[in-house]
Amino acid sequence: MGQLEPLRFTKMHGLGNDYLFIDIRDMEEVPDDVWKDYAIKMSDRHFGVGSDGIILIAPSKVAPVRMRIFNADGSESEMCGNGLRAMTKWLYDRGEFDPGQAIETGAGLLYPEVLKTEEGRASVIRVNMGVPRLTRHEIGMLGQGESTCIDEPLDLDETMLHITCVSMGNPHVIIFGPLWDEQTMARLGQKIEHHPMFPHRTNVHSVEVVDSHHLRMRHWERGAGLTLACGTGVSAAIVAAVLTERVERHATISVPGGTLEASWDEGTGVVYLTGTAQEICQGVFELR
Ligand SMILES: N[C@@H](CCC[C@H](N)C(=O)O)C(=O)O
């Protein structure tokens, strides 16, 4: 790891979903296993810096820049909604974000937009999260590949749940009902994350309908556990709630770390996610 250090990082968050951003555009290429190791060590909340994962600001052949995300357990994910807003802010605040530009992600090219600034810095960002994917094959679930999973039973031994599954590039399971408390979210979230139905594991969300324009959610993230917000999860939730006729196409979504606005456009099929992003601090990491 010696050649990478000292490793500069910026800690940022979207509603408390926090990541350590590392600009690797001018670095020599290093094997993914090295990033996996850094993700585990840096993310540790007691023996590291503390975060839900690390995000690499990487070079791209198809866009001005690419986002790669490694969860706190070192696994790589395709996408991160809160991370994408935070990365847009990182670029904007450093004069490196052009209106209309794309950011390459594992879910394809995505288009963020800075809606509001404060003292020249980005504060509210809207992201075109792309079109949700609904077949089992696209979600990475077992079963009939071309079929969807909408309000279907999942037997968890101790309890029978009804799940709706959506991919926003990464997989999400949505369970509607009264909002689970933290303990239940952790216990059932972990079980569903590792359920054999999901060979690549999955993110899990408890979702309560407040009214036809308002949802409340709690998250168990694949590779990170309980988090204060999950942008792709919120995007998946509005899709699942519209598909099951629980909300209109635009909703406010309350999560433990704050509030996001989500909408699912009828014409284009695109999901839009709007919310804040903040920079916490900058630092230098050296493994001891
Ligand atoms: N917090 C994120 C999602 C991060 C990745 C996720 N844990 C996965 O493994 O897919 C978000 O804001 O979308």
Residue nearest to atom 4 of ligand 1 (CA): 80
Residues 120 and 232 in one domain: no
The stretch 84-93 carries a mean pLDDT of 98
- Same domain, yes or no: 259 and 280: no
Whether residue 87 has pLDDT greater than 80: yes
The model's pLDDT over 227-238, given as tens digits with 9 standing for 90+, comes to 999 999 999 999
Active-site residue flag, 149: no
ipTM: 0.99
- Give the pLDDT mean for 211-228: 98
Residues 170-189, mean pLDDT to the nearest whole number: 98
Q: How far apart are CA 19 and CA 69, in angstroms?
A: 9
Query: H helices of 154-209, where?
Result: 182-193
Whether the CB-CB separation of 31 and 38 falls below 8 Å is answered with: no
Q: How many CB atoms lie within 10 A of CB 213?
A: 12
- In ligand 1, the atom with minimum distance to the C-alpha of 224 is 7
Residues 143 and 241 in one domain: yes
Say if residue 142 is in the same domain as residue 113: no
Is 202 assigned a ligand-binding role in the annotation? no
Does ligand 1 come within 6 angstroms of the Cβ of 39?
no
The domain that holds 178 is classified in CATH as 3.10.310.10
**CB-based contacts of 129, cutoff 8 Å, min separation 6:** 81, 107, 110, 168, 231, 232, 235, 270, 271, 272, 273
Residue 169 structure tokens: 């590039």
Per-residue pLDDT at 3: 65
Query: Mean pLDDT in the chain?
Result: 96
In this structure, the answer to whether residues 114 and 185 fall within a common structural domain is no
Q: Is the CB of 17 under 6 A from ligand 1?
A: yes
Residue 2 has pLDDT above 70, yes or no: no
Give yes or no: residues 206 and 180 share one domain: yes
For residue 202, how far is its CA from the centre of ligand 1 (angstroms)? 10
| Tens-place pLDDT, residues 222-261 | 999 999 999 999 999 999 999 999 999 999 999 999 999 9
Taking the CA of residue 233 as reference, the ligand 1 atom at the shortest distance is 13
Q: Is 82 in the pocket of ligand 1 (CB under 6 A)?
A: yes
Question: If you average pLDDT over residues 72-82, what whole number do you get?
Answer: 98
Across 259-280, average pLDDT: 98
pLDDT band at 133 (very low <50, low <70, confident <90, very high): very high
Residue 1, pLDDT > 60, answer no
Q: What percent of the chain has pLDDT over 90?
A: 95
In the chain, how many domains are there?
A: 2
Instruction: Assess whether the C-beta atom of 170 lies below 6 angstroms from ligand 1.
Output: yes
Q: Is 51 in the pocket of ligand 1 (CB under 6 A)?
A: no
pLDDT category of residue 114 using cuts at 50, 70 and 90: very high
Question: Are 144 and 260 members of one domain?
Answer: yes
For the residues 140-155, what does the mean pLDDT come to? 96
CB of 173 within 8 A of CB of 205?
A: yes
> Ligand 1: which of 18, 21, 43, 79 to mutate, most ligand atoms within 8 Å of CB?
79
276 lines ligand 1 (CB under 6 A): no
The pLDDT of 173-181, averaged and rounded, is 98
Looking at the structure, tell me whether residues 94 and 212 fall in a common domain. Answer: no
The mean pLDDT of 49-64, rounded to a whole number, is 98
Closest ligand 1 atom to Cα of 168: 13
Q: Is 203 annotated as a binding residue?
A: yes
Going by CA atoms, what residue is nearest to atom 2 of ligand 1? 80
Query: So what's the pLDDT on residue 288?
Result: 73
Same structural domain, 195 and 88: no
pLDDT class of 5 with cuts at 50, 70, 90: confident
What are the pLDDT digits (tens) for 10-54? Answer: 999 999 999 999 999 999 999 999 999 999 999 999 999 999 999
Short-list 154, 197, 143, CA closest to 176? 154
Does 151 share its domain with 254? Answer: yes
Q: How far does the centroid of ligand 1 lie from the alpha carbon of residue 53, in Å? A: 9
In percent, the amount of the chain with pLDDT more than 70 equals: 99
Distances (CA, A) of 162 to 141, 170, 221, 233: 15, 20, 19, 17
The answer to the question of whether 269 is labelled as a binding residue is no
Domain containing residue 97: 2-129+276-285
My answer on whether 123 and 22 are in the same domain is yes
pTM for the complete prediction? 0.97
**Whether 43 and 116 share a structural domain:** yes
Checking if the pLDDT of 153 tops 70, the result is yes
CA distance 74 to 156: 27
